[in-house]
Every structure is written in structure tokens, then in C-alpha cells.
A and B are shown apart, each in its own frame.
Chain A
């Protein structure tokens, strides 16, 4: 049931495009982190937050088309255009392309914007435009319109299981023959109310510097961004790698990881930290990259992108303490593991392409 990752589009605090992720791994670019201050019952609290850069959407769409589009829609649209561009394919039959997007919180800024409009102007004069754009599937709708894609279109929201839901659905569509390609994207945005909630929930007890492998302390720093994959069937010449499995459930993840290389989605949240501890004690190579993209429910989609890059380039970077680069075989596998607050676990497995000529470098 495997499928091929043909293209990756990324919008994150590291910048735009898949090369920004590579630069983040190599340490030549640092994520943009801004500090915000909130007045909570615990006093004035500073919250660091990863801030995505959205540059280059004008390259794909006229400026007036962007005027009414909210930040999360812009991120998702740019990531999707970049994924198609990165895939280098001419997508002809647009009814045979599906879109599945996921987000933990949806377009929060717009949701709160609509509430602002009714608080400011009263029930009768609340903004219909903001309301229409506050629905979770507004991003996918914008993408279908901008990209003229007529195939199946789905939006899901399952907090930490969001990335799994998106990729498993995409794999199901490809396997079932409903589509030839899928744009599978996921992400979240930062907004002041999310910052305030982080400040109030952390009670000033967070370090403000993301250290995902330091499981004993809270180091959660909220993040934002959007990652889109262009997926196709089978093992395709020129692809990054194969997406071979997406499993989810309540099981002993440490006993179920088939590959030596493991990417964990630990992101400094204490409620999930304990679930990752058994994995760290395995005799496996375990890395975490949330310090590059920030904490967000759908963040482990970025881990999948880093895994695809690692398999393409044959290098796995370790970020803790000193940055090191270790070779990984072209036909190796990587298990991307994420836990939800309730302990449910998702494992997304990628494997290097079987030896074929002309691999993408």
C-alpha cells in the first residue's frame, strides 16, 4: 500500500520551500522566534513563538486574489503550490487529484476575527466574510479553487493524530484508485489568543527554548507553519522516498518500531513526554526536530518531511548539543512516531526508494 512522495512544499519559521528545511537541518538557517507578552493571573508572562515566513505566494497568484485570504489559507496555499513545483509534474486531469488537509485548530485567527466583529459591531453586523472563512475546510476550498482541483477534498482535525489522519487518508485514496495524485497538507497558525492560552496553561513554568529530548521539563514553544506533500502511486523514479505505512492505536510503540532510525514528535509538552521515554531507551537512533518548527498539533507532518529529505540525501542530522550528521542508507527506513495527550500513538513509516536510476538529488 505504499505511495511515493513526489514533492514537498513547506512554509515554516525556517522560511519557504523544501530547501529551507534542509538549511534548518544543516544549521545554516535558524527558525524565526518572536517573543510576545501576556498579562495572565500569574503576572506578565513572556511567550516565545515560532513565526512562519510567507513569501512568494504572489509568484503563483495575483495580489488581489490574496486580499481576503487569511494567514493559514495563505500558508496552506503556498505550501501546496511549492509541493507541486517541487514535484516537477504537469498535473493534467485535475479531477484525478485529491486534496486532504488537516489542522489541529483550523483558522483560529479568522474564528476570533469573526467573534471580534460581532463583539465590536453587534450580532446584526458581524462579518459574513470572516464567518465563511472561519470553517476548517476554508483552506482546502481555497486550494481547490486556486489550483483548479476537482477530485475528492477532505479536511480533518484530530489534534496530534492529524498528520496521521491526513497521510492515511491520502494513502487510502491512492490505493483505492479514486485518484492518481494527492496534495496532503497539515499545519496550524499562531495567534494572540493561542499565545495567551499557552502563557496561562504553562503558568510561567516553561523554559521558552524548545528542547524536545529533555523530557523532564516543559520546553514547549508554540509554532506555526504548513507542510504539503504531493503523493503519487507506487515507487516513482525521481521521488524522495516511499511512504509505506501509517498506523495508529494504543500499543507499545517501543516494541513496534521496525527500523533503526526513529524520528519522534516530542515537543516539550509534559503530558506526552512520558510516552516517548521508552523509545529513548531503545538501542535505536532517535532524533527530534520540533525545535526547528515549533509546537503544534499537526507538527509531526514536518517530521515526515525531514525523514523524506534524510532518505533522499542519505544524511540524518542530530540537533541536541552538538549538531552531527550521520549517513543513512538509500534503502533504509525511518519511523516517525507521535503521541497524543491520551496516549494514542501514530507511526508513519518511510522507506528509501528501491534502487532505480536517476534518483532525485
Chain B
């Protein structure tokens, strides 16, 4: 029996760099970014870390009053991706369609007002609870688009989006689905902002991935969605494969709840696993979209692993310098960028980088890439590591 391949037929993205894939890529190649003090988040913390917030007039209008911002972002990215894939409601109803979405904020009942009123015995209204139930991202999208297959929300912290795309690949290959709406979505949230600030891993300056003077990450928000299809079925309906998800690796550090393993053992395993699954040699990789959060620990470990595994220098980019760290959405947004980088045959500069630590040097300008395979890395709280290998269709 012919092996089923996971083709990418549609891309959707909304983040601080743009409200569509094309708009976002234009910002990236123009080297534009706009980190700023948060508008959505109010706090009495004095040392404010800038965030990458989506334009403040985003409302997701027409999608229902009860939808959360995380859900609305996912819907917008999904609509863009479905349109590119040429899939309408009738097509989705006729096929075996699964939905898998990574998130962190979207699966947490962290309504501060509800909690505060309960503590003050003010008998709070339970609408935040019913709203929470109605906004599990994958279940919500599955209901909205009438998808009859599996619907799964991945809650793997910052690797959630990458894991979602990787699992979608397996759903296609094993025949569980013909089409998967896969990605990640997360809104900027006060609880998360305070949490990351308390952990002392946010920077009061715009982030500087892999720079020796980096001070930490900036939070962001957004959604990235990929339409992943069985290549044969996609071809039969006349859809074009933009790329393929050829490999997925996942591995646990088993080391520390919040810090990566100092030697990056889990990341090494995940990268090797993903490349082995793709049947690709290290030397065939055209570029790496790094996790590159700009935290001291992450960039040190990730840089070391990349330098060890890829002694022949290849372009490494951290697109978080344009989007901020969008948590559960990050891996999916970066998978979109990885596909686009291969299609456009170039990757953008890593903004904020000036001086390295002698381990790796990320891109400092728009950089041409040669080759048909690229990697996207994600590392997460809990020691999760997830890696995608993306390939272009043969000419």
C-alpha cells in the first residue's frame, strides 16, 4: 500500500507582525517589529516588559459574543488557511476532518474576577465557567466548521503548536483523517504576563534572541493554522501541496519543571528523531527556525545543540523577535514561517541580535536559503522538546 504523506495545502496566521500570512511575511522581510507596553494587560508591576500585541481593534467580529480572544484568533487563522486550501463547508463535511490545536491560555480557567468575587463571598456569576467550557479551541473549531473527526487540544505549554502539527501528520499517515486543521492559538493574558514576570524571564527591552546581552523574552499573542491533508486526496481534488510535514520528533528532558537540560539531551533526541522520521540527513537541512526565546537558559542550550549537530553553519533564525513568544501558538506560527521560508527561498533577520557568545550566529539580514528541507524547534516548560521537519514538493 502506498504510504500516505502529510501535505500542507493551506496556511493561516495572525500575530503582532500581521493579520494574514502575506502581511506577516512582509513585516518579517522588512525587518519591522513593534513591541510596546501592553494595552490589554493592566498591572501595577513597575518594570514593564514590552509585548507583541495584535492591533487593538481586532475583535473577531461576527464569530459570536461568547468566543474568547484565543478562540477568535484561531478562527481567523483557520479561515485564512481553509480559503487557501480551497476547502468550504461542504468539502469539510464530506471528508474525515480532524482538528488539533495547541494552547496554554485557552485551556485554563484563570478568570481573576471570578476567583476574587468567590473569595469575597460575592456569589459570582458562573458565566466564566460556561464560557470556558464553550471555548476549548479544538472542540470549538470542530463545531464551527462541522468537522466530524477527532478534536484534540494540546496543552504541552510552549511546544503545543509544534506537537499539534506533528500529531496531525501522524493522523494523516495512519489514515485516521483525510484533512486536519492543525495549529495553535493563544491570547495575551494578564495571568500569564504576571506569571512570566514573577519567574524573572521577561525582558524590559525588546527581545534579542541568541545575543550575549539578552535579558529575557517578550510575550506575544496570535494563532497559526496549517491545513494538512493526505497528499493523494489533496491532489485528487486539485489542491496544491505547498510543503510536506516529513518528520516530527518529541522528547522529554526528565530534568527540571522549568529549566531545559543543560546539555539539551531532550532537544538532541527530538531533532534526531524528527530527521530520522523524515529520512533526511543533517547536511540536507537548509535552515532552522529556532525556538529562540531570548531567555538566558533556552538560547544557551538550543544554540549549543544546533552548533553540535550542524557543524557546517546553516542559517538559524528566531522569528520570536517579530512575534514575541506566543506560547501555545508559537510552534504553529513558526511552522507557517518555516513553510514560507522554504517557498520564498529566504529567511528574515533575527532582530535584536548584535553579538553572539561564540556558539551560533543567527541571521542578521534577510538570508537566501538553498535546499528543500527545514527544521522548526520548540522547547517547553516541563522539559518538552518538539521538532518538525518540513520539506518542499519535488520540482
Interface set of A (CB-CB < 8 Å, partner B)? 1, 39-41, 94-95, 99, 105-106, 108, 111-112, 114-116, 118-119, 122-128, 131-138, 140-142, 144-145, 147-159, 161, 164-165, 168-169, 172, 175-176, 178, 192-193, 196-197, 200-201, 248-251, 340-342, 344
Contacts and interface: CB of A to CB of B under 8 A. Distances in A.
A175 B123 CA distance: 50
Q: Which 10 pairs from chain A and chain B are nearest by CB?
A: A141-B382, A131-B195, A136-B155, A152-B250, A153-B252, A144-B252, A128-B198, A144-B254, A115-B115, A165-B152
B153 A156 contact: yes
Contacts, number: 207
B44 interface: yes
A201 B126 contact: yes
Nearest to A197: B129
Interface string B163-197: 10001001101101000000000000001001111
Contact of B154 (A124, A144, A155, A196): A155
Of A141, A164, A251, chain B has the most CB atoms within 10 Å of the CB of A141
A111 B110 contact: yes
A123 B121 CA distance: 22
Nearest to B112: A115
Contacts of B116: 115, 119
Nearest to A101: B155
B150 A168 contact: yes
A14 to B, nearest CB: 27
B149 A135 contact: no
Contacts of B174: 1, 172, 175-176
A344 B46 CA distance: 47
B155 A155 contact: yes
Interface string B108-133: 11101011101101010110011001
A128 B195 contact: yes
A122 B44 contact: yes
Of B110, B114, B116, B254, chain A has the most CB atoms within 10 Å of the CB of B254
B163 A154 contact: yes
B44 A176 contact: no
Given A112-B115, A128-B195, A142-B257, A123 B44 contact: yes
A159 B200 CA distance: 33
Given A155-B156, A193-B115, A249-B148, A148 B108 contact: no
B21 interface: no
Interface in B336-395: 380-384
B384 A137 contact: yes
B164 to A, nearest CB: 10
B251 A201 contact: no
A344 B381 contact: no
Interface stretch (B81-89, B137-145, B231-239, B288-296): B137-145
B258 interface: yes
Given A138-B382, A157-B155, A152 B251 contact: yes
